[in-house]
Structure 1
Amino acid sequence: MKWKWMALLCMLLLLAACGAETVEEFHYTDHRGEQLSNEDLEGTPWLATFVFTNCETVCPPMTFNMADLQKDLESNGLSDYKIVAFSVDPNEDTPEKMQEYLSHYPISDESKWHLLTGYSQDEIAEFATENFKSLVKNDPNSDQVIHGTSFYLVDQKGEVVGNYDGFEQVPTEKIIKDMQELSQ
């Protein structure tokens, strides 16, 4: 069993090491039941991540980390950004479930957040791999979904320009610096 997890970790690291991508066109539904597309995000830098509401491991700390990061962005005078979290369990994550999930976190400005659903499991797996070099895979032994734990910085043109640890050691100062550079 350990070798399977090691192989999965190696694949995640390999995918993360690949170059920057421009996020392909998408039109998904957010936690408010509103449509969001990559065109809606043009001209605004955004932070992306992958989570799901039934997650028993990494998603709760990642969401807390993103909420803390948002507070730090605001305290550093950054206000022109969005936070986009793609559900990796879209069959279960309805807009209502995602709204409830988000309500459990200390979000300082919920208007900046978009938790997305409205696609199939296969679509989000392909989307994550092609656009963020991130793995999304159902765990065959549980109701959990295996996925990466990165936060991604996407610039105003829709290009992924940063990949950061979103789980254990979030490089908050580096993310703030990179976002400030995009805002100049």
Structure 2
Amino acid sequence: MNKKLAGILLFVSCILLASCSPFQPEGPKVSGFTFTNQHEEAFGLEQLEGKVWIADFIFTNCETVCPPMTSTMKQVQDELREQNLDAEIVSFSVDPTVDTPEILKEYLARFTDDDSNWQLLSGYSQKEIERFALDEFQTLVNKPNEADQVIHGVNFYVVNPDGILVNEFSFTDPEVIEKIVDEVKRYQ
């Protein structure tokens, strides 16, 4: 192998290894948003300023992953409270034409009786949430025409007090609650 090719391979290998490193720079900063919560109040990045928050994408008539995701998020809420950790939870509806504030409030009441730190958001169009999810969280949201189910990612996202997305975890990870709590501890 000639020296030029060996140099190129070494360079490419270093880039690939660096991309696998656990010491990556933090992720993107979440852009400003203001939507409507389950209490019909405006809620957005302004209310989250200086706070750690955990986000996910769900919808209330989901027949598959959303109920267990929301149940897992309730366990995160309980563990944060148990450890006296301060964090907000923000669940974005991926079916905004169905998920009115009243429906979101009823849905959340099935999982928790304390929504003081948990906002379920809607108040945007389907196209807006699809673009928002992709641009801000690099996740897919798609509601096929004539369908009542929405395709969406199943990750939980941790955003630091500066509004930077610092980590994401699959809700199917058996250690997801512990990992999220550990991530929140970094900012307490």
Corresponding position: 1:126 with 2:131: yes
**Distance of aligned partners of 1:120 and 1:34 in 2 relative to their CA distance in 1, 3 Å threshold:** same
The question of whether the paired residues in 2 share the 8 Å contact of 1:50 and 1:88 is answered with: yes
Identity of aligned residues (%): 44
Q: Is the 2:54–2:157 Cα contact (8 Å) retained in structure 1? A: yes
Confirm or deny that 1:158 pairs with 2:163.
Answer: yes
3-state SS of the aligned residue for 2:157? Answer: strand
How has the CA–CA distance of structure 1 residues 111 and 171 changed in structure 2, closer, same or farther, with 3 Å as cutoff?
Answer: same
State the partner residue of 1:11.
none
Output the TM-score relative to the length of structure 2.
0.83
Which AA in structure 1 matches 2:78? Answer: K
**Aligned equivalents of 1:168, 1:146: Cα separation in 2:** 20
Q: Does 1:39 align with 2:46?
A: yes
Residues 91-133 of structure 1 show CA distances to partners (whole Å, capped at 9, x for unaligned) of 111000000111111x263111100001000000000001101
Match for 1:176: what amino acid? V
Q: Does 1:26 align with 2:33?
A: yes
> Structure 2: which 5+ residue stretches go unaligned?
1-25
Matched-pair contact (CA < 8 Å) for 2:76–2:177: yes
8 A contact 1:65–1:170 mirrored in 2? no
CA contact (8 A) 2:72 2:177 kept: no
Q: 1:170 to 1:143 in 2, by over 3 A?
A: farther
- Any conservation in 2 of the 1:53–1:93 contact (CA below 8 Å)? yes
Q: Distance in 2 between matches of 1:110 and 1:163?
A: 22
Tell me whether 84-93 or 171-180 shows the greater mean CA deviation: 171-180
- Aligned-partner Cα distance in 2 for 1:143–1:110: 27
Secondary structure class of the residue paired with 2:78: helix
The SS at the match of 1:182 is coil
For 1:72 and 1:65, the matched residues in 2 are separated by: 11
Q: Tell me which of 147, 171, 177 is aligned to 2:176.
A: 171
Q: TM-score, normalised by structure 1?
A: 0.84
- More divergent stretch after superposition (57-66 vs 167-176): 167-176
Number of equivalent positions: 163
Asked if 1:60 is matched to 2:67, the reply is yes
Gaps of 5+ in 1: 1-18
**Residue 109 (structure 2) aligns with:** 103
Larger Rg: 1 or 2?
Answer: 2
Question: Where does structure 1 differ by over 6 angstroms across 4 or more consecutive aligned residues?
Answer: none
State the Cα deviation string for residues 46-72 of structure 1 (Å, max 9, x = none). Answer: 000000011100000000000011111
